[in-house]
Structure 1
Amino acid sequence: MAAMNTSNAYRYLDSPNIKTRKRARRVIKEAKRNKKGIR
């Protein structure tokens, strides 16, 4: 789950699971920081 891509991360932001939502937010933040990760 650590290697979540950004489109999945946006989907997880609506998750009822708080841990999942926090992880999704972190993935999106990292993707914005290094644009190489986004295809």
Structure 2
Amino acid sequence: MAEKIDMASAHRQLHSPNEKTAARALKNIKAAKRAQQNLRYANQNESQAN
């Protein structure tokens, strides 16, 4: 069964009693936040260049 990687599933899995599941969820949340921050930084640089 394929696992969902969306934010709702990750936040729900974060409260799992299984340590591996909670750690995987935390890793997915941090990766999503990092990607969002990088996108925001890239857009900011692009707008300053114009």
TM range (shorter): 0.7 to 0.9
Amino acid at match of 1:10: H
TM-score, structure 2 normalization? 0.62
Equivalent position SS for 2:17: coil
Equivalent position SS for 1:14: coil
Larger Rg: 2
Q: C-alpha offsets along residues 5-37 of structure 1, whole Å, 9 cap, x if unaligned?
A: 11110000110110000000000000001127x
Amino acid at match of 2:14: L
TM-score, structure 1 normalization? 0.76
Partner in structure 1 of residue 12 of structure 2: 11
**Relative contact order (C-alpha < 8 Å, sep 6+): which is higher?**
1
Aligned length in residues: 35
Task: Determine which structure has the larger helix proportion and give its number.
Answer: 2
Q: Runs of at least 4 residues of structure 1 off by over 2 A?
A: none
Which consecutive residues of structure 1, in runs of 5 or more, have no partner in the other structure?
none
Give percent identity, aligned residues only.
Answer: 43
